Amino acid sequence: MIQATCIGQPLARFLQTPRASRVVARFDSTLQLESDDGQLWAITARNNAGAFRAQVSEIPRAEIGEEICLRYDSAARFDPRPARRFLTSNQKRNAARLIAREIHDLPDALGAWEEIANVFVIARSAEGVTKQTPSHTGIASLTSFARNDVIVHRLLGRGPGLTPTGDDFLQAWLVTLASGDEIDRRAFHSRARVIAPDLSRTTKMSAQFLREALNGWAFGALKDLLDDLPRVNASRVKNLLNIGASSGTAYALGVLFGLSWKI
């Protein structure tokens, strides 16, 4: 029996109904599990909570296919829904610029930015968009084109890995819009209607994370950053940027995109 120290509220509700779950993948600090009815969830030793994630002090030794039992009665509950924000245009703009400043000099930023910017057929001629800098101005100049369903379809499943760069971007963008003002929320619902029917086009793991985003749920580092707005804490931004090889940069760009919507 594995003891969780923290568990996402949606996962705790899901596990109230007895069902078997087995290990389907193992990473350095995380076990990926799948229930008999197809729900993916994770046990992790990383300090990054999630909707369908249980945090433990140490990852157990477990083989692929092994059934896992989790004890979580005394675990802290993680609420994955960020607090609603009602920011002025100036507050959004200032927060976006501060986040862009943290991204600007990262070696990994360029690859993720190019992967995303290349989706927009006008990216190379859009004001402020260059190969060198994922600036706030560059992001803002692209937001009007994201109303095009074709653009959103091109982002879905784009990039290598278990969680493609385009999906990481979409995940953070959706959650940023979902937790914003009424204009943001309308944009969220509009984009959600485009993305939800096509999740089969990406990986199973990435589709799970996008479903969480479609519910307005964030993982720990993303929620921490959004809950602090309009204040931008550099350490919060760095915690987000440090996730994965390029995922963190794509997440941060998604937040930038959400903050730059309609300002």
At 192 the pLDDT is 94
Other beta carbons within 10 Å of 251: 28
What does DSSP assign to residue 82? P
In 29-183, the DSSP E strands lie at 30-35, 40-44, 53-55, 70-71, 76-78
pLDDT grade for 256, boundaries at 50, 70 and 90: confident
Query: Which contiguous run of DSSP H or E holds residue 256?
Result: helix 247-259
In the chain, the DSSP E strands lie at 2-3, 6-8, 21-26, 30-35, 40-44, 53-55, 70-71, 76-78
Round the average pLDDT of the chain to a whole number and report it.
86
pTM here is 0.89
Does 184 or 106 have the greater pLDDT score? 184
Choose one of 78, 97, 128: the last residue of a domain. 78
At 117 the pLDDT is 66
| Structure tokens, 18 | 């007895």
Both 74 and 93 in one domain: the answer is: no
State the residue range of the domain holding 26.
2-78
Tens of pLDDT, residue by residue over 158-196, are 887 788 989 999 999 999 999 999 999 999 999 999 999
Work out the percent of the chain whose per-residue pLDDT is above 70.
Answer: 83
Does 261 or 190 have the greater pLDDT score? 190
Both 144 and 251 in one domain: the answer is: yes
At 119 the pLDDT is 64
| Structure tokens, 205 | 């793991």
Contact 103, 111 (CB under 8 A): no
Both 139 and 255 in one domain: the answer is: yes
